[in-house]
Structure 1
Amino acid sequence: MSGKVKEPSSWHILGKDLKQWMLDHAFAIGCALLFLIANIAHSIWKAAKHIHADPNGHSLSFSRTYLENHLRPGAMSPKPKEPGLISWIMHTVESLVFVHGILLLIIYFLLILVILSVAQSHLGAWRTVGTSIVTALLGSFIGLGICYLVSQTVHGWIRLDRIPILLSPLTLIIGPLMAESAFESVLWKRRIVLISYTFVGTLLLFSGNPGDYCNLAAAVVGHVMGLMMHGRDGERVHWQRGTDYEIRRLFAFVQVVLAIGPILSITSTSRFGLLTTMGLFTSSLLDGSSFVTACGANQTLHSCIIITGQHSVALLGLWLHILLPVAALGLVAWGLYHGRKAAAWTSIAVNGLVVLFTIVYYVIFPLTITTSNMETTRRYATMPAFVVTALPSLLLIIFMTRELAHFQVPTGKTRVRTGLGAMVASLIATSAVYALFALSWPSSFFPKPTVKLLALDMLRRILPLGFGGRQSTLIRPRTMAATLIGTGMTVIFWLTVLIVFIFWFRDNISPDAQDRTRANSLVELGGDSMSFMTTWEDNHYWFSPTGRSAIAYRVMHSIALTVTGPFGARDEYMRDLDDFTAYCDEHGWSPAFYAVHEDQKDALQQHGFSSIQVGTEMVIDPNAWQTRGHKWQDIRTAINKAKRDGIVDVLCTYDSAGFDVQQQIVEISEQWAQLKALPEMKFTLGGVEELRDPRVALLYAIDSKGVVLGVTSWLPTYRNGKVIGWTLDFMRHRTDSPNGIMEFLIARMAERLRDEGASDPEHAVEFMSLSAAPLAGMGEGRGKTVQIHADATGANETSMQQKKAESVTNETETQPAASKQDDRKEGPDLRNGRTSGTEIIEHALQIVADVLEPAYGFKSLFFFKRKFQPTPAPVYICYPDSSKLAQIGITVVSAYVPELKPNQVVDVLKTMTEKKDETKEK
């Protein structure tokens, strides 16, 4: 025992990873903490000095910039004060650091931590500081300069000099982020640039505070500085490739911008953006009778905006009327992102309604004003507002119609009809209840409701627009019951719309029996050791253009998780990887090639994929099988013990095993399942149902009394109809079976294959795979390549708990660490190849395996298979988008344990804790 090497726990490894990450990003962490401490101290100081926060934050308008007036004690009139340039500079610098409110403090703390961590990884600490200072200064100077020049030259923007100047910490950090993007890979460069410009551009268009101009200017300056620091790059970003992937995301971004615009418009203290009018219009705030009259009496466009901005938005009902349609448009954007044709037509319809009601409100309503002294020019004073409001939606309709070919993911006609029926039924039901209540209790409303007034009022409540009639023609609730019923009408209808949109745009693929039949034929043409699992239920299939090869996959959480790599004609495999990726792009999924080997992993990495090792397959050459030597002592003991006890092995199929043996196998499986705290695993782990295939070999051990003690199943691997290998899958035994029964069965399978090959060389197999336990043996065998096409199946855990460590304690081998340096590439965390961030995720996956170990015994199974002295063959999961790692992880867990419940996980954690406590006591 003294010579035993104690391996560090996964928690210890993860802790070291996090510690190293913190050391590598100490600058970013320090800046974030300094920001947090400074804001907390500033708040305490203001509270001690009884200084009340300015509702606009630390801000000054352009008017206060150049001249501030104040009343001296006892003075009757304001006295001019010296120009407050110094005061303005101090306030501006202060606004870059201090924020108001806990929520903003948390948001900016996280933004500073993440953005500076990313920037530091390529720019370094000092260049990040320099870039931040330069971009903030130049950005503020350029942004404020543009605002001031416009306010002095454009008559319609004369109010800009009174709008508070609100800068923010974003001005300090957006520049370094944009500069760092120049050092990124094409994928992340495109993402950082697109998301950053979309974010600051949206703030500018719908809010329009001078600080938003500064943010945009700082982003541009940072972008230019990054390009200058990096120099010429042979890897260019093609912004107009025209692929489905790019077009869909572009339209989704635009739809998201139009969806959140109303929120920005109504919460902004400025309301001076180019699209503020549209934001207010689509926020249900333009319902005042004075709107058209006030705008007609004033030629200034933005005076209309400020008038409408005075409405209160504190009422819950009004917020629900605003937020629910915004959420619905967000779901439309989600559908566009995934290429749903129904989402494209929904977007066209919704934006068409915006244009229609904009015409009614800004064009038809002014024509209905018949005041005798109303001049023609005043009657059309709202025309600029009409153009600004209708143009974005109109352009989106035009371009969406033009690019409909990029949105070809269908939604079943039945689903569409059902959804439309649900929305119509909800509208009729809620309207009927509201109308019945109003007509039955007219005293609850003012004025007395009529059919016409009710119709207009219901239209105003349902539409996500500012249209709905003037206040003089609408009824108002006077009681709490009337308010609740009116609000309930809006909430119920829009909740129905949300549910219908989810129903329309979610992934919904039904397995096809004909596809499964084709897959059964192709798997006999060729495949890897795991390829036979593609014939199991719940898999979907993609077929190559020639129909000679295919890939099995499952779609969950918008991830297309493959069941190993391609199968069928081997000469098409590499092309299939590219074609399947394009197929996923067309359907709005992100591909994840699960349990592929070195050759396919290398091919995918050449196309920009990243990879994480998820296990190690144990491969045996049965033609060279022998059990001589000290390392084989346990195997020899198991074989000899079985012979002494009269235990024999039988090789057959499930159907030919006989009814009695079949029932005993089912009994063993149920006994095994009852001992587990978690449900039986699936996906690449077969159960009793998968034994019934006549091509699957069954090898079981039976004693002299006819009692089945243990059973294994072996999946065939074909090449042109000939079996070239067998892979272990099902592996279970009775709880009272003698020790060594599984060693006996596996050794006997190897002996049978060896003897068969010796007697009939034409039918000799090339390999026997023991598969791999999921998330066990990560890092084992990395860099070694076995010339078979095997995979990490992970046989169902045998109940070898009593022997889980016996075979390992006598060996001095230690499992290699996660090979931290082997596959590293340049680049920050989670973006370019195997970086430190990927290692953190790999070690986190190992912790998941530790948590599940009491239930499934991944590690004990892994060490058990090492008894047979196999050749390790690492298996990987390959993915094109590292930002999808969380979704991929959830998808893998969902595929393996689809019936997992939270309370079962809690029970496992309790069991693991209790066992650790017992171990410590011993």
Structure 2
Amino acid sequence: MSSSETPGTGTPPTATGTTSTESRRSRTAARLAGFQTSAVRFVRGTPVSFGLAAIILVLAVLTGTATGPASTAVQEQWAAGFATTVEAGHWWTPLSALVIAWDPFQLVFAVLGAVGLLGVAERLMGSRRTLWTFLVLGVAGTLVGIGLQAIGAAIGELWAITVELDLTLDPFVGIVGALLAASAFALPLWRRRIRVITIGFILMFVLYNGDTTDVYRLIAAMLGLVLGRVLARALGRQRTRWNRSSHQETRTLLAATISVSAIGPLISIISPNAIGLLSYLGNVFSDTVPDYDEVMGRCAASFTDECNREIAIASQAGTGSLVLTFVPLVLLVVAAIGLRNGRRFALILTIVVKFALAVIGAFAFVYALRFDQNGTDLWEILLWGAAALVVPLALALLLIAQRRHFQVRAPRDARREFVFTVFFAFVVLLIGELLIGWINRATFLPEPAGLATLLSDVPRRFLPGVFLGSLGSPTFPTDGLTVFAFEWVGPIFWAVFLLAMLRLFAATGPTTHQGDGARIRQLLKQGGGGTMGFMATWPGNDYWFAEDGRSAVAYRVINGIAITMSDPIAPGSDGRSTIRGFAEFCDANSWIPVFYSVHEQYLPVFAELDWQVMSVGEETLMHPPTFELTGKPWQKVRQALNRGIKEGLTTLWTTWDELPLAMVNEITSISEQWVAEKELPEMGFTLGAMEELKDPEVALMLAIGPDGRLQAITSWLPSYRDGRVVGWTIDFMRRADGSLNGVMEFLIASAALHMRETGVEVLSLSGAPLATKPLRPGETPPPATAMTRLMDFLAKTLEPAYGFSSLFRFKAKFNPTYETIYMTYSDPLALPIIGTAVGKAYLPDVSPKEAIALVRTLSR
């Protein structure tokens, strides 16, 4: 409604300023009080988690680990390990090691883990079970690990001998054990995610670092899986049926696994004493670069088989070459983004890189075997080498086996753009490198470079050194410009490749085809879609049709979120299959489906799917067959109608095509004036504008003054059953400046009377976003939740800009019945992205000026 409808208060400026300041202070105090209440409730709900965090903090201060690594005295007295627990007889150390952090770095993560991860476990299985599972699994994981160390050392096993004197202080042993036990109490979606991601991280540390703490965590986690299953079964909480993962969930878990595997080699680099099975692979990425002059001097005196390798490594000195070395790991991390979105190209790239890393693992094993001087048993060397080869190979084979989940291909134009970009970048950089090298060919060592030598050295400039080793006879430029070009040509190319790949991952093809709009209209006229179903015909929507063609869904894809506009457009009996079919369609395209503005009748379907549900507003409904303007509740509307008639207002029920040109110009002028006065971005999505008025099936109800000038306009969207209009939903409302007070009440009441005469069953005043229907007499409000508090906050925040609450109060004048409209979504972790996508749907094109105006309005 126009800002001209809001009367001025006449309050002096100084009083307004004082009132505004007091109001802001009051709101700030209320928000702080609400935050305090929420924080207290949160702490009370997880006493074990916060209690453990407090104990860890206090003991870190008392033992000195809050400011530095544990001292020798603290280790010998409180740390767990074969030396202290078994040899020294300190039986309490498996327990004390669970509540003392090793150093400040671990202290921070231990406190966060206690509050976060253990807090999740506490919410899933209760405080008492969380406490004793933390203690039992932490102690058991440590004792079993120490026992395995003792057995391994007795038989001469390399790892056990190496870590025989290691000591452990680590609260995470108990935390991960409790978390994995609690996963048995979670819903299938969360259970899979907790287990796959947690075990993936633990295995990464075991394979790439491999100290006793990592092994104790793994043992506690495995015991936690078993104990959790036993507990859940005993309490009747374990589901016996197998829950198949969707395409989207499988992609999410595989992408997480690949991301974890990409981080693994960095663990070996950070930990110089790493002894995990894959630590050799990490050492390849951090191989020390020898001094080139020293290598050339020594090899000039006596050239051995090792000289080629040392010269090759020495020629890779420099920051650019170091960056190039980590390209495989960066490729895996970026490819994981594509895997998460079901991209076939990301699948192929990941498989290729994993096979390449398997080859590197084999070379690393051979190199380690050549220079091993420890006299280690051959079977252990073979085991370590096999792990470096088998793990990346196994991940590649796993992706091949799961390739059916990755069928999303970019449009042909996007693929062509990617190929052209990568090819063009490669050619330009290659020509530039060769040209610079040829000009400065005399500066190369060990001898001037010819064209053949420069060409043979090209792979070394674009491929990481770990893929090439000592292959070929490398040349080494000494001129500054040449060194810079040869060092950075590879990183620049791969940077272009990665950016082009991200752009390729973001490309989507059109899903709407010619004739789909006509099909949607035909289905709407048969019934389905609800009171707001006609919004499906608006520009910007894509359409999904069921295989039998009897039902459809209108949606928009924003940032990977497929948002529907209303109820499914389907006969009553087909609603369930339509929702499931659209969800499977989104899953196949790696979109997160969100049904927006759906009504209560479909909530059981979403409950079966284990989807989350939240209210996003209230639809206000009137019923023309029983519409009467009698009684006190209708006094204000009745007065507005009578005043309009007395002032000579008339109404016109028409369509855009039937309007004379002069009336079209008046409507355009009123709308433009309204937009100009707002100075705020005009909202879209489920809120129509001028373009939506022009549809020949949309009805217009106009209020015309006695002088023939337009006073106000409303537009009405039809809803059908068996080809007949059975309802109208208001969409567009505008009033002219200087129009009669109460003209909108007059116009809506007149429309209701018209609909009663024409046999219309329902009149919808549309949805009121972020609104809550009033309570019935004697009805108590439901307990507040985090989501309801968030919705209340958004409603209060956006009220100064868009007046949702004011609009809701205006509609209440018509004594409507209320029907809650909901948003349902499959993935609770995606709620922040969903919120952003919905916001972008409503405000798709915000100019800088409008953004500033919006912020200024909200800040008031």
1:487-506 correspondence runs (5 A): 488-506=488-506
Q: What secondary structure does 2:525 align onto?
A: coil
Structure 2 match to 1:627: 629
Q: What secondary structure does 1:868 align onto?
A: coil
Q: For each residue in 1:702-740, what CA deviation from the matched residue of structure 2 results, as whole angstroms up to 9, or x when unmatched?
A: 223333222111000011211110001111223433321
Distance 2:73 2:733 in 1: 67
1:674-753 correspondence runs (5 A): 674-753=676-755
Residue 767 of structure 1, CA deviation: 0.4
Matched, 1:29 2:29: no
Q: Is the 8 A contact 1:724 1:767 kept in 2?
A: yes
Match of 2:762 among 759, 767, 770: 767
Q: Is the 8 A contact 1:284 1:467 kept in 2?
A: no
1:326-345 correspondence runs (5 A): 326-345=329-348
Structure 2 match to 1:530: 532
Distance 2:574 2:563 in 1: 20
Flag the 1:542–1:183 CA change in 2: closer, same or farther, 3 A: same
Residue 742 of structure 1, CA deviation: 1.3
Q: Is the 8 A contact 1:58 1:166 kept in 2?
A: no
Residue 418 of structure 1, CA deviation: 2.2
Letter in 2 for 1:849: A
Letter in 2 for 1:418: E
Residue 324 of structure 1, CA deviation: 4.9
Distance 1:145 1:501 in 2: 49
Q: Is the 8 A contact 1:32 1:112 kept in 2?
A: yes
Distance 2:272 2:169 in 1: 13
Q: Is the 8 A contact 2:60 2:101 kept in 1?
A: yes
Tell me how large the CA RMSD over aligned residues is. Answer: 4.2
Q: Is the 8 A contact 1:361 1:467 kept in 2?
A: no
Flag the 1:266–1:867 CA change in 2: closer, same or farther, 3 A: same
Q: What secondary structure does 2:466 align onto?
A: coil
Structure 2 match to 1:389: 388
1:259-274 correspondence runs (5 A): 259-274=262-277
Structure 1 match to 2:602: 600
Distance 1:171 1:472 in 2: 48
Letter in 2 for 1:244: H
1:210-249 correspondence runs (5 A): 210-232=212-234, 233=236, 235-236=238-239, 241=244, 244-245=247-248, 247-249=250-252
Distance 1:128 1:519 in 2: 53
Q: Is the 8 A contact 1:653 1:695 kept in 2?
A: yes
1:188-203 correspondence runs (5 A): 188-203=190-205
1:81-480 correspondence runs (5 A): 85=88, 93=96, 97-101=100-104, 105-154=107-156, 156-157=158-159, 160-161=162-163, 164-165=166-167, 167-232=169-234, 233=236, 235-236=238-239, 241=244, 244-245=247-248, 247-281=250-284, 283=285, 285=287, 317=320, 320-321=323-324, 324-355=327-358, 387-441=386-440, 447=446, 450=449, 459-464=459-464, 466-470=466-470, 473-474=473-474
Q: For each residue in 1:8-28, what CA deviation from the matched residue of structure 2 results, as whole angstroms up to 9, or x when unmatched?
A: 979466664444333323443
Letter in 2 for 1:29: F
Residue 382 of structure 1, CA deviation: 8.6
Distance 1:502 1:196 in 2: 27
Distance 2:389 2:626 in 1: 77
Residue 168 of structure 1, CA deviation: 2.8
Larger CA deviation: 331-340 vs 86-95: 86-95
Residue 655 of structure 1, CA deviation: 1.9
Matched, 1:862 2:808: yes
Q: What secondary structure does 2:526 align onto?
A: coil
Which structure 1 residue ranges, 5 or more long, are not aligned? 1-5, 47-51, 69-81, 291-306, 372-376, 757-763, 783-812, 821-835, 915-922
Q: For each residue in 1:284-329, what CA deviation from the matched residue of structure 2 results, as whole angstroms up to 9, or x when unmatched?
A: 6487799xxxxxxxxxxxxxxxx9xx99x99865663355543321
Distance 2:322 2:73 in 1: 24
Q: What secondary structure does 1:537 align onto?
A: coil
Residue 475 of structure 1, CA deviation: 5.4
Q: For each residue in 1:144-175, what CA deviation from the matched residue of structure 2 results, as whole angstroms up to 9, or x when unmatched?
A: 33244334435554762378555533213112
Q: Is the 8 A contact 1:559 1:891 kept in 2?
A: yes
Distance 1:584 1:111 in 2: 34
How many residues in Structure 1 have an aligned counterpart in Structure 2? 805
Distance 2:54 2:379 in 1: 54
Q: What secondary structure does 1:277 align onto?
A: helix
What percentage of residue pairs aligned between the two structures are identical? 31
Q: Is the 8 A contact 1:713 1:731 kept in 2?
A: yes
Q: Is the 8 A contact 2:551 2:574 kept in 1?
A: yes
Distance 1:16 1:83 in 2: 48
Flag the 1:321–1:531 CA change in 2: closer, same or farther, 3 A: same
Structure 1 match to 2:794: 848
Q: For each residue in 1:353-377, what CA deviation from the matched residue of structure 2 results, as whole angstroms up to 9, or x when unmatched?
A: 33456667777x999x9x9xxxxx9
Residue 405 of structure 1, CA deviation: 2.6
Letter in 2 for 1:718: Y
Q: Is the 8 A contact 1:726 1:768 kept in 2?
A: yes
Structure 2 match to 1:890: 836
Task: Please give the TM-score of this superposition, normalised by the length of structure 2.
Answer: 0.83
Q: Is the 8 A contact 2:715 2:732 kept in 1?
A: yes
Q: Is the 8 A contact 2:354 2:392 kept in 1?
A: yes
Distance 1:59 1:452 in 2: 61
Distance 2:211 2:377 in 1: 28
Distance 1:163 1:455 in 2: 53
Which structure 2 residue ranges, 5 or more long, are not aligned? 1-22, 293-309
Q: What secondary structure does 1:466 align onto?
A: helix
Q: Is the 8 A contact 2:648 2:705 kept in 1?
A: yes
Structure with the larger RCO, 1 or 2 (CA within 8 Å, 6+ apart): 1
Letter in 1 for 2:642: N
Larger CA deviation: 689-698 vs 734-743: 734-743
Q: What secondary structure does 1:618 align onto?
A: strand
Distance 1:903 1:476 in 2: 56
Distance 2:696 2:74 in 1: 77
Residue 135 of structure 1, CA deviation: 1.4
Distance 1:328 1:361 in 2: 21
